[in-house]
Each structure stands twice: as structure tokens, then as C-alpha cells.
């Protein structure tokens, strides 16, 4: 067994995952706070106002990273849902279901901040444009996954049903991404590209990317925190959870 | 148009939603451990079945 396979096997063990996730999430929250503080300072204080949008451009330093995260969280949920359905790995079920509330939170922020940016820029809070509507559909998909997961008394059955919905809903992700190209929308096209030229000034790009790092670190940290709680619930009858509840730390060697 | 209320409202929503999202697992972990501890203590008092 090579090192990578061994690492996956070790991480698949609930007590090992619980312990390692506990260490990682503290560092990730710290990294998220530092990059977020730097991004907010640069975005709110140092970056200039936009020549067309004026001061309302400062809303985009949270709107755009949250929009990216709303899609990224769905992708992580669908991949874990696929693994949960095919290989029935308990940890993947937990990770998939833990993604849903965080993704819904990012989608809600995206929609609300987008509306608050749209009023001074477009003159309206909402239009039934392809990008906005498909993002709203994404929020409903997240709600559907959360609802379906909690509809079943057995969490593992609920997780598998919700994973299936998450997989079906993945079709919405390219629709959201390409909506500004496929249809004539009020929403502008992409300004930041992974490949190719970026059309925004460096003074605005740096705080935007810092906020993107902050939201990504927050997502992973929040995901690990939620997964740890779900793992405790699911494994509440196991020795390592009993040891943790009675003492404080899981006895990994006893459970391994 | 004054943009300040829109900027303030956006950042308020951002921090409020993330704070609620973060509070759920942090409080949930403590509550879950307390519930499990109480279950085991009750089981110990009852003795082996």
C-alpha cells in the first residue's frame, strides 16, 4: 500500500479524522481571519472607488468571493455525495451533508449582497436575469439537500438520498458559470480568469483574492467543524466517543 | 445616491450569516458531548443489562 492510499485509509478512520480535523480547523480559522482582515482593510480603506460604480464596488469584495464559494461548496458536496453513493464511505456522507448549510450560507450572502449592490448600480434590487435566477435555484437546491437529509430518521439513508439530489443538481453549476455568456444578461461577464487576462486593476484584485483565500479557508474550517459534530452523533455508541465524552480526547489506539 | 447604507448592510449580512453558520457546529459539539456524557452516566447508574 503506497503512502497516499495509507493516508486515505487513516483519514477514513473516524477517531483519526476527528483528531486531525480538530488541529487543522484552528489553523484554518486563524488563516481565514488574517487574510480576511487584510482583504477587508485593502478593500475598504486602500482600494480606490470604481470610476463607474463608485463606492458600491466595495460590496464586491465580499459578493464575488462568496459567489465563488457557493459554487465551490456545491462541487465539494457533489463529489463527496458521489463517493458516498458509490463506495458508501461514511465520512464522505458526513462531508457531503456538512457542505450544504455552509454552501447555503454563501449563496444567501451572494444573493443579498448582489441585491444591495444592484440597487445603486443597476437601479433595482432584483431582475429575473439568467445569472441571478440560476443562483437562486442553487439556494433552493441547497435547501432541498438539507431538507431531504433531515427527512429520514436514519441519517445514512437521508445522506444517500440527499447525495443523489446533489448529483442531479450539479447540472446547475455550469449553467450559473456560463449564464453570462449563453444569454444576454444584465449581470456583467467575468473579470477575473484563471487562464487569460484579468480586466481589473491590481489595487482591486489583491483584496479580492485575499478575500477569496479567507472564504476558502473559512469554508474548509467550518466544514471540518460541522463534520466533527456529525461524526460524534453518528458514532455516539463507539468507545472512542465515550472516551472523548468522559475524558476529553479520543483514544485512537483503542479504536484503531 | 449615497452608497454607504448599501455597503454597511452588505457587510452586516456577511458577518451575521457567517457568525450564525459558525455558531451551529461550535455550540453543537458541546451539546452533543454533554448529551453523550449524560447517556453514559445514566447507563452506568442502571448497571449492566
- Residue A87 domain-assigned (yes or no): yes
- Which residue range is the domain that position A31 belongs to? 20-189+199-255
Q: CATH number, domain at A34?
A: 1.20.120
| Residues of chain A positioned with their CB less than 8 A from the CB of B37 | 245-246
Domain count, chain A: 1
The secondary structure element, H or E, covering residue B22 is: helix B4-46
Across all residues in chain A, what is the average pLDDT? 90
Answer yes or no: do A245 and B24 touch at CB < 8 A: no
- Residue A236 domain-assigned (yes or no): yes
In this prediction, residue A175 carries a pLDDT of 94
Nearest to A56 among B3, B25, B29 (CB): B3
Angle between helices A239-246 and A14-41 (to 10 degrees): 60
Give the number of residues written for chain A.
256
- Residue A14 domain-assigned (yes or no): no
- Residue A130 domain-assigned (yes or no): yes
- Residue A54 domain-assigned (yes or no): yes
pTM: 0.91
| Residues of chain B positioned with their CB less than 8 A from the CB of A109 | 13-14, 17-18
Q: Name beta bridge partners: A54.
A: A50
Nearest to B14 among A113, A242, A244 (CB): A113
Say yes or no to pLDDT of A203 above 70: yes
* Nearest Cα residue to A180 out of A133, A124, A116: A133
Pairs from A16-19 (Cβ < 8 Å, separation ≥ 24): A16/A252, A16/A256, A17/A91, A17/A227, A17/A231, A18/A228, A18/A231, A18/A232, A18/A240, A18/A244, A18/A250, A19/A249, A19/A250, A19/A252
Q: What is the mean predicted confidence (pLDDT) over A50-71?
A: 93
**Using one digit for the tens of pLDDT, what is the confidence trace for A140-179?**
999 999 999 999 989 899 999 999 999 999 999 999 999 9
Answer yes or no: do A241 and B36 touch at CB < 8 A: yes
- Residue A12 domain-assigned (yes or no): no
| Cβ of residue B19 closer than 8 Å to a chain A Cβ | no
Amino acid at each position: 500500500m503506497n503512502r497516499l492510499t495509507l493516508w486515505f485509509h487513516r483519514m477514513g478512520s473516524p477517531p483519526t479524522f476527528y483528531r486531525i480535523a480538530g488541529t487543522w480547523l484552528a489553523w484554518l480559522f486563524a488563516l481565514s481571519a488574517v487574510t480576511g482582515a487584510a482583504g477587508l482593510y485593502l478593500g475598504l480603506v486602500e482600494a480606490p472607488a470604481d470610476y463607474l460604480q463608485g463606492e458600491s464596488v466595495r460590496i464586491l469584495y465580499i459578493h464575488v468571493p462568496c459567489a465563488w464559494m457557493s459554487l465551490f461548496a456545491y462541487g465539494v458536496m457533489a463529489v463527496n455525495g458521489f463517493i458516498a453513493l458509490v463506495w458508501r464511505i461514511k465520512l464522505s456522507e458526513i462531508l457531503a451533508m456538512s457542505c450544504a448549510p455552509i454552501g447555503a450560507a454563501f449563496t444567501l450572502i451572494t444573493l443579498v449582497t448582489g441585491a444591495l449592490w444592484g440597487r445603486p448600480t443597476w437601479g433595482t434590487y432584483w431582475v429575473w436575469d439568467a445569472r441571478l435566477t440560476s443562483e437562486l435555484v442553487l439556494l433552493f437546491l441547497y435547501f432541498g439537500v438539507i431538507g431531504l437529509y433531515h427527512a429520514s430518521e436514519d441519517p445514512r439513508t437521508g445522506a444517500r438520498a440527499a447525495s443523489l439530489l446533489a448529483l442531479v443538481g450539479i447540472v446547475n453549476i455550469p449553467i450559473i458559470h456560463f449564464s453570462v455568456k449563453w444569454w444576454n444578461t444584465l449581470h456583467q461577464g467575468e473579470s477575473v480568469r484563471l487562464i487569460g487576462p484579468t480586466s481589473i486593476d491590481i489595487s482591486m484584485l489583491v483584496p479580492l483574492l485575499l478575500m477569496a483565500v479567507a472564504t476558502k479557508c473559512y469554508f474548509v474550517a467550518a466544514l471540518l467543524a460541522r463534520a466533527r459534530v456529525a461524526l460524534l452523533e453518528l458514532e455516539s455508541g463507539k468507545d472512542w466517543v465515550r472516551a472523548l465524552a468522559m475524558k476529553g480526547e479520543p483514544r485512537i489506539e483503542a479504536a484503531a | 445616491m449615497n452608497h454607504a447604507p448599501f455597503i454597511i448592510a452588505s457587510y452586516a449580512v456577511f458577518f451575521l450569516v457567517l457568525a450564525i453558520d459558525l455558531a451551529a457546529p461550535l455550540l453543537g459539539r458541546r451539546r452533543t458531548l454533554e448529551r453523550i456524557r449524560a447517556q453514559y452516566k445514566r447507563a452506568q447508574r442502571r448497571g449492566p443489562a
